[in-house]
Structure 1
Amino acid sequence: MSVETLTYDALGARLNISPVAARSLARRLRLPRSLSDDGKALVSVDLAEIRHTPQPPGRRQAGAVAQLTAKVVALQAEIVQLEAMAAGHRADFERERERAERLVTELLHAAAETTAAREAAARLEGEVAVLRARARTDSSIDKTERRLGQLAATLVESDRKAARG
């Protein structure tokens, strides 16, 4: 058992692997490390105890690349489908938004008409109350009847406007 102090380059050359793989192996095995005078990392290792067989780089990567390429193509197809679905949802959203805007406009118009009708009804009720009071105190029934006829005509006209709108 002879312990040697090697750089990652030297360890990689001895094990027939890259310096990056040698560094990864040293970290994985938790080999003691130190720095040399020139700033390079040195690893203390007993090569007889390390049982490392390097994997051929091309075989494993080719299969992984093919799988990843297939997955990328599948994901791109899914993205296209999702974009088409999103476009359909966007069109539905726009259509519903326009419909809601129309309904809000109609609602505001109906609210304005309702307010106007309530004001007219309040005004007419006030006039009817005045006429009834006059009819009790005043002997001129013709004026009262004429005014009631005008009020009735106003009510009919307001009702027709409400039916048209």
Structure 2
Amino acid sequence: MSVEFLTYAALGARLNISAAAARSLARRLHLPRSLSEDGKALVSVDLAEVRHTPHPPGGHRAGEAVQLRAMIVTLQAEIVQLEARAAGNRADFEHERERADRLIAEVLQATAETTAAREATARLEGEVAALRAAVRTGSSDENHGHSARRVGHVAASLVEADRRASRG
């Protein structure tokens, strides 16, 4: 419990550490410092209050450094493998995206053709219904000529629709 004034070298010797480590410890603990008559720094310290356990010598840390370097090399190799896998996945993604774009274009084309076919079917059904109504209402020669023309239009419409379907 007594306060002592020690140089960094003396503090290091008491704590079994180097003078540089003692200086660093004094800074970390905010120990009061002053200068001696010969210009050396003195640290005011109560050694009973300082709880410091020195680290093992650098030889043990060298083994840790070798292990860490080996781990770094392993992780770098793993990064290279993951980047290669990511590039392959990206290529697969781009291929599937192009395929999806082509399929969407085909679906849009089929939808347009289906809509056109439905419209043509509705128009032809309307013409057939009109012909049937005309046949039911009378069979005069004038009506017969008109019906024949309408049948010709229906036949022409069917042929045109068939040609469009065979082109698409």
TM band (smaller chain): 0.7 to 0.9
Number of positions where the alignment pairs a residue of Structure 1 with one of Structure 2: 158
1:158 counterpart letter in structure 2: A
**Aligned-pair distance for 1:54?**
5.6
Does 1:44 pair with 2:45? yes
Contact 1:6 1:43 in 2 (8 A): yes
Does 1:151 pair with 2:154? yes
Local SS of the residue matching 1:16: coil
* Aligned counterparts, 1:112-131, within 5 A: 112-131=112-131
1:122 counterpart letter in structure 2: A
Aligned counterpart, 1:75: 75
Q: Where in structure 1 do 4 or more consecutive aligned residues deviate above 4 Å?
A: 5-10, 20-27, 40-43, 49-54
**Aligned-pair distance for 1:43?**
5.4
Does 1:84 pair with 2:87? no
Contact 1:9 1:18 in 2 (8 A): yes
Q: Over aligned residues, Cα RMSD in angstroms?
A: 3.5
**Aligned-pair distance for 1:159?**
3.9
TM score, norm. by length of structure 1: 0.72
Q: Distance in 2 between matches of 1:54 and 1:132?
A: 107
Aligned counterpart, 1:17: 18
Q: Distance in 2 between matches of 1:21 and 1:160?
A: 98
Local SS of the residue matching 1:97: helix
Does 1:162 pair with 2:165? yes
TM score, norm. by length of structure 2: 0.71
Q: Distance in 1 between matches of 2:88 and 2:136?
A: 71
**Aligned-pair distance for 1:8?**
6.0
Q: Alpha carbons of 1:45 and 1:127: their partners in 2 closer, same or farther (altered >3 Å)? A: same
Q: Distance in 1 between matches of 2:12 and 2:66?
A: 28
Local SS of the residue matching 2:18: coil
1:74 counterpart letter in structure 2: T
